[in-house]
Amino acid sequence: MRAIVIGAGIVGYDVAKLLSQAEHDVVVVDLDNEALAQISDKLDVMTVQGNGTSTKVLEDAGIRDARILVAVTAIDEVNIISCMLGDRLGVETTIARVRSDELTSTETVLDSRDFGIDLIIHPEESAAAEVVRLIRRASATDVLMLADERLHLVGLRLDPDSPVLGRSLQELVMERPDLRFRVMAIARGIRTILPNGQERLRKNDQVFILARPKTIPPVLAMLGKSDVRLQNIMILGGSDIGAKVALQLSQEKTKRVKLVESNRERAEKLAENLGSCLVIHGEGTDIDLLVKEGLSDMDAFVAVTDDEESNLVTCLLAKHLQVRKTVALLSNGAYIPISQSIGLDAAVNTKLAVSREVMRFLRGKHVKSVATVHGLDAEILEIEARPMSAITKDTLMNLKLPKGLLIAAVMKGKDIEIATGLTKIEPGDRAHIFVMPNMISQAENLFDH
């Protein structure tokens, strides 16, 4: 399958890499020859120098043979027009990265379909929503919503004094039969483990628990984690992400939010629009300013500037001052495992939103969504069982599923259940499954006929 990626920046590189690894015929289009050269040196892809809004450039890239076009430049208008042209030239699927909410607002006159765009992705909005979820779950390193937000996947790192160390997962379940939850994955060092009931928990394991929202607090308590409320929050960076996070958190009566922005004009505008949030004009690298504004008194510190090194350093300072929760925006995926190893609590990445959607289109039509989590090699697929598919033949316990694949939950119409060995998947049911990369094809075959 031919795939065209418009934009050779960080996100464009990530998308091209993903498509190339899936053995697709990838062409990257950008005006910047240097950026194209870097991609060409690192990836097995073709490149075309030019503007993605030019029909001739798209023709040179082989647009008439392409099945998917992903436009992820830094300019919304370029992404929109590229997708319009791709749609007119017969591309089956067009995806645009758009920062403005003009096309998705309920009050807008035009929507994405008017421009021939199949999917609009707001990476900044997704990142902001993730930050807010992390602040609301004080102990979590990751929070992911599944099944229309009726199930939460919560990641947390086990402390050296956790009461569950050395215990098997089966023992935990037997000890609390009243709690319906599953440990879906464990990140142990650089390994991702999709565990069975005999797996024993170790110090510094990062465990990922699936449960209904109301079940999360008692499960955290069982693991030795307190789900305290974070009330005083400082946000560094008044970008779109910082502004969205500040707006959502400051609307909660129990939270007091401060936002630090280096650009005076931007700071003044944010002060007008953010209501109860206190906006401070100053440099985020000015440690004295952060301390003067009460960094040591904060419950949480969020660094979402465009400078990810500053995000890392200021979060480390916050941890040194005993701030309970730190969250950093890290565009470079290589920084994420480093950030956790040096003591940061959580990281968000705007590239993930784009990658997830591209992955969904790469899978079969019965795959409804794809999710990934920092630190886990496994993918989380929402996949529909076809009539006569192998997965519908018996209960999960009797099917003897291959290693590297775990069924997390099953949606039967409007009902949802956390999967057990007695669960039987029927045709039309949707299952959320955790699957290692080398097992994805086998997983899809189980649900296909």
Which residues are paired to 28 by β-bridges?
5, 47
Tokens encoding 188: 């142990």
pLDDT tens profile 336-394: 667 766 778 888 887 776 776 777 676 666 677 777 777 678 888 899 999 999 999 99
Task: Sort strands 256-261 and 278-281 into parallel, antiparallel or unpaired.
Answer: parallel
Closest C-alpha to 316, from 289, 294, 285 = 285
**How many Cβ atoms from other residues are within 10 Å of residue 221's Cβ?**
13
- DSSP 8-state secondary structure symbol assigned to residue 65: G
Q: Are 212 and 220 in contact (CB under 8 A)?
A: no
Segments making up each domain of the chain, as ranges:
2-121, 139-222, 232-347, 378-447
CA atoms within 13 A on the CB side of 164: 27
Note the pLDDT of residue 261: 95
Pick the CATH number of 232-347 from 1.10.150.120, 3.40.50.720, 3.65.10.10, 3.10.20.90: 3.40.50.720
Specify the CATH number of the domain 2-121.
3.40.50.720
Distance between CA atoms of residues 172 and 272, nearest Å: 51
DSSP assignment of 272-332 equals HHSTTSEEEES-TT-HHHHHHTTGGG-SEEEE--S-HHHHHHHHHHHHHTT-SEEEEE-SS
Q: Are 264 and 281 in contact (CB under 8 A)?
A: yes
Q: Are 26 and 5 in contact (CB under 8 A)?
A: yes
Note the pLDDT of residue 315: 92
Residues in the chain: 449
- Is the sign of the CA dihedral 26, 28, 33, 36 positive or negative? negative
Note the pLDDT of residue 324: 92
139-222 against 232-347: fold identical: no
Note the pLDDT of residue 170: 92
pLDDT tens profile 154-206: 999 898 999 999 999 999 989 888 899 999 999 988 789 999 889 999 998 99
pLDDT tens profile 28-81: 999 999 999 999 999 999 999 999 999 999 999 999 999 999 999 989 999 999
pLDDT tens profile 107-138: 555 566 777 888 888 888 888 988 998 998 88
- E-strand ranges in 7-103 read 25-30, 46-49, 66-71, 93-97
- Is the sign of the CA dihedral 260, 265, 269, 272 positive or negative? positive
Pick the CATH number of 139-222 from 3.30.70.1450, 3.20.20.70, 2.40.110.10, 3.40.50.300: 3.30.70.1450
pLDDT of residue 6 exceeding 80: yes
The CATH class, in words, for 378-447 is alpha beta
Question: What percent of the chain stands above pLDDT 90?
Answer: 56
Average pLDDT of the residues in 418-445: 90
pLDDT tens profile 239-283: 889 999 999 999 988 899 999 999 999 999 999 998 789 999 998
Q: How confident is the model at residue 309 (pLDDT cuts 50, 70, 90)?
A: confident
Note the pLDDT of residue 38: 93
SS3 assignment for 141-203: CEEEEECCCCEEEEEEECCCCCCCCCCEHHHHHHHCCCCCEEEEEEEECCEEECCCCCCECCC
pLDDT tens profile 15-30: 898 888 878 899 999 9
Which residue, chain included where needed, has tokens 């997830």?
356
Burial code of 83-122, b = ≥16 C-beta within 10 A, e = fewer?
bbbbbeeebebbbbbbeeeebeeeeeeeebeebbbbbbbb
Distance between CA atoms of residues 194 and 187, nearest Å: 9
